Amino acid sequence: MKKHNFGAGPCVLPQEVFKRAAAAILNFNDLDLSLLEISHRSADFVAVMKKAQHLVRALLGVPEGYHILFLQGGASLQFTMAPYNLMRVGGRAAYLDTGSWSSKAIREAELLGQVEVAASSKDRNYSYIPKAYRMPSDVDYLHFTSNNTIFGTQFKAFPQAEVPVACDMSSDIFSREIRVSDFDLIYAGAQKNTGPAGTTLIIVKEGILGKTGRKIPTYLDYQTHIDRDSLFNTPPVFSVYASMLTLQWLKENGGVGWIEGINAEKAALLYDEIDRNPLFEGLAARADRSTMNATFVLKDKSRAKTFDDMWRAAGIHGLKGHRSVGGYRASLYNALSIESVQTLVNVMGELETKG
């Protein structure tokens, strides 16, 4: 039976990417060597890194003056690297608190300087995106998380600020068109829409670096990795290669605009069923519902076992909600087919007919 993978991450990736990546593990570029054993400084892998960077620039329309890096440590390391590189000694930063990941980013930034939480949706368990708040102009940068995987909310319009803007786009990068020039720093863990876990994409504007007045540990300095073109130390070779394949798949099929339309169709299909079916209720404010992560609950918890048995029997995987929210979470990342979403919707409808 085909599995319908709604897991929040690591997530579903295109089958052709899996096949090509698997072949490269056995024999990469007809070298009779595995991708996993070639030198990361060989011409073969340097070409992979260059192509991955080129695809990012092409897919997102990254302007000149921005550097593209593939590093290790996940978005969690970026919670530390961002303030190290953007917050001045004795400085302060503004953060928007819209979920677990933004809260963790705030805690890391507080280790280096003062943080002003300009807005928060914690008062309603992060079920909405704050909109009416004062944007401070006397801070070193503004930081926010574009999509909140756990709570199922997403910024539909990005905050505007007169200071550098940093954004954690781990769970919705490449899912919709953006204007990179509106940001000074974008970072994203690969394991949602970019590729398998192990690498993190960073897009950083050159002009914002070198202004903090602090000594930055070598590895935590973006300039270190810019100077070495993401090869300061041994990179996560497999993750970068599989990410390159995923980005190539996206480009060959029509790019970000193409997948944005499909993602909107998938989300509409599922949210329409959540709103139509009297057994279910969405958790996120309607205006802020994520196209990547739909969170919902059964109104009658006594029917949970029946529903769980039904979706598992239909080959659905990864539907359980996060422990801090409960209920269910359907992650609708780029490579998830609309057929998988229809399968879930059918199960929800069948539960209703059981009476």
* Cβ neighbour number for residue 108 with a 10 Å cutoff: 18
Structure tokens at 280: 């279910």
Active site residue 168: yes
Choice among 168, 172, 184, 221 that is catalytic:
168
DSSP run (H or E) holding 115: strand 114-120
User: How big is the chain, counted in residues?
Assistant: 355
Q: What is the 3-state secondary structure (H, E, C) of 270-339?
A: HHHHHHHCCCEEECCCHHHECCCEEEEEECCHHHHHHHHHHHHHCCEECCECCCCCCCEEEECCCCCCHH
What tokens were used for 123?
């008062």
Measured between alpha carbons, how far is 200 from 190 in angstroms, rounded to an integer? 5
List beta partners, residue 68: 203
Q: Which of 101, 172, 266, 288 is catalytic?
A: 101
Q: Which helix (H) or strand (E) holds 144?
A: strand 142-145
Amino acid symbol at 321 = G
Other Cβ atoms less than 10 A from the Cβ of 221: the count is 19
Largest CA distance in the chain: 66
Q: Is 258 a catalytic residue?
A: no
CA dist., res. 341 & res. 338, Å (int): 5
Catalytic residue among 192, 205, 221, 249: 192
311 is catalytic: no
Give buried/exposed letters for 156-192 (b at 16+ CB in 10 A, else e).
Answer: eeebebebbbbbbbbbbbbbbebebeebbbbbbbbbb
Specify the 3-state DSSP secondary structure of 264: helix
Q: Which amino acid is at 306?
A: T
**Which is it for the CA torsion 119, 125, 129, 132, positive or negative?**
negative
Catalytic center residues: 101, 168, 192
